[in-house]
A = this chain, B = another copy of it.
Amino acid sequence: MKQVGLAILLFASFCCAEESGSFQPASTNVWGAEYPRVDSADRAEFRVKAPDATKVRLNFWSGPKLDMVKQPDGFWAVTTPPLVPGFHYYTLIIDGAETSDPNSLAFFGGGKDASGIEIPEPGSTYYSAQDVPHGQVREIWYYSKVAGTWRHALVYLPPNYDTETKVRYPVLYLQHGAGEDETGWTKQGHANFILDNLIAAGSCKPMILVMAYGYARRAGQPAPDLTGKPFGSPEMRRAMQEMVAAFEDDLTQVLVPYIDANFRTIADRDHRAMAGLSMGGMQTFQVTFDHLDMFSYIGGFSGAAGALVFGNQKFDVKTAFNGAMADPAAFAKRVHLLWVGVGTAEPEGMRAGLVGLHDALEEANIKHVFYESPGTAHEWQTWRRDLKDFAPRLFQQDGK
């Protein structure tokens, strides 16, 4: 019975990860995979089978790019220098083909299911599962009249949502970055554990998180034909603007009403926040400033005002967002929180845009919070820290 044998083999493969010296299999591995593994100095050792390849390269998206070395057994191996703690995307480039590592769980980034490795941060328990009450993450499917399709979103409900059936909760809409999807904030970001831990410590209000799919095309709208259109061309910018606009309409006209109808929310602007990372930050600024009747808390994690992206022009506080900030006192009263964050190790162009926004807001006396994550790049460790700083500031207008 060959197939039964196969089942045993597959089955057995799940029980045999070994630990070696101070190297331990990464927590992001599939069960049973010994590699990649991480030592106490935060070095990671990779090993991948490619017997007939002539070149294999380890490609960290925000980290080292290293040639792997062929071993006599047909595997290729390399050990990295010490890595920054946190979650890092990577791929393998095998004879020019960019692929994922079968030893790693898949994490959606860069427009594909890519590989990732978690480097532990000593002493940081805020984003891991602890012995505290746990909320639930629910998958929802809603039909969008804007997009003309069923759309998928994830919803985190705080602990005791099911048992305390009279309590209503504020909502934070939390968006992923470009190339990622609605699974990013839980799989890569551990947003559910961050909220569980903050709520258990009494550091933030119990709240609902809604993680939507950040891409949309209007019903009946054909895919734009960008063949031959150069990068950054007007056609490409227009396609992007149309997409953000479709997402904005889906979120505000379909998803928010769906959430308010199907969960015990407090359905007003004082109890509705939005934040997002990178592209999601840009979307957040566009959506919230277009709909200040719906949102009163705004967070940009390594990404913010669309003007910075679309125009490269200096951010003009007086005229931006139809003059919403023209009167700083009125703005501070209307918007309970304007929050902008960036990692100190982010690429200079990106960092400069966010610092420039902060400076412009500062100069114009616009009340806001500016947070810098020490030593982290345009990566999830920055955004985990952002959420940890941002969430406790939400929904405090009712008093603690």
Report which A residues bind B (CB closer than 8 A).
Answer: 1-18, 30-32, 48-56, 74, 92, 94-100, 102-106, 108, 110-113, 129, 131, 134, 136-141, 143, 150, 162, 165, 177-179, 186, 192, 215, 217, 223-226, 231-232, 236-237, 239-240, 243, 262-263, 278-279, 282, 303, 308-309, 312, 346-347, 349-350, 352-353, 378
Which A-B residue pairs are the 9 nearest by beta carbons? A106-B113, A50-B97, A106-B106, A52-B96, A99-B99, A51-B96, A10-B178, A10-B179, A102-B112
- CB-nearest residue of chain B to A111: B13
A145 CB, min distance to chain B CBs, angstroms: 12
Q: What's the nearest-Cβ distance from chain B to residue A164, in Å?
A: 12
Enumerate chain B residues within 8 angstroms of A95, measured Cβ to Cβ.
50-54, 94-95
- Residue pair B350, A215 in contact (C-beta under 8 Å): no
Residues on B with beta carbons closer than 8 Å to the beta carbon of A308: 1, 4
Task: Chain B residues near A223: list those with CB within 8 A.
Answer: 15-18
Chain B, residue nearest A196 (CB) = B141
- How long is the Cα–Cα vector from A162 to B138 in the complex, in angstroms? 12
- CA distance in complex: A54, B1 (Å): 35
Chain B nearest CB, measured from A285 CB (Å): 14
- How distant is A394 from chain B, measured CB to nearest CB, in Å? 23
* A279 to B143 CA separation, bound complex (whole angstroms): 36
CA distance A223 to B24 in the complex (A): 13
Tell me, rounded to whole Å, the shortest Cβ–Cβ distance linking A84 to chain B.
18
User: Nearest Cβ distance between residue A179 and chain B, in whole angstroms?
Assistant: 4
In the complex, the answer to whether B30 meets A112 with C-beta atoms within 8 Å is yes
Query: How close is A9's CB to chain B, nearest CB, in angstroms?
Result: 6
Within the complex, which residue of B52, B112, B150, B226 is in contact with A12, where a contact is CB–CB below 8 Å?
Answer: B226
A178 to B7 alpha-carbon distance, docked (Å): 6
> Which residue of B49, B103, B137, B347 contacts A2 across the interface (Cβ within 8 Å)?
B347
How close is A139's CB to chain B, nearest CB, in angstroms?
Answer: 4
Q: How far is it, in angstroms, between the C-alpha of A328 and the C-alpha of B219 when the chains are bound?
A: 58
A100 and B97 contact, Cβ closer than 8 Å, known pairs A55-B52, A113-B30, A139-B138: no
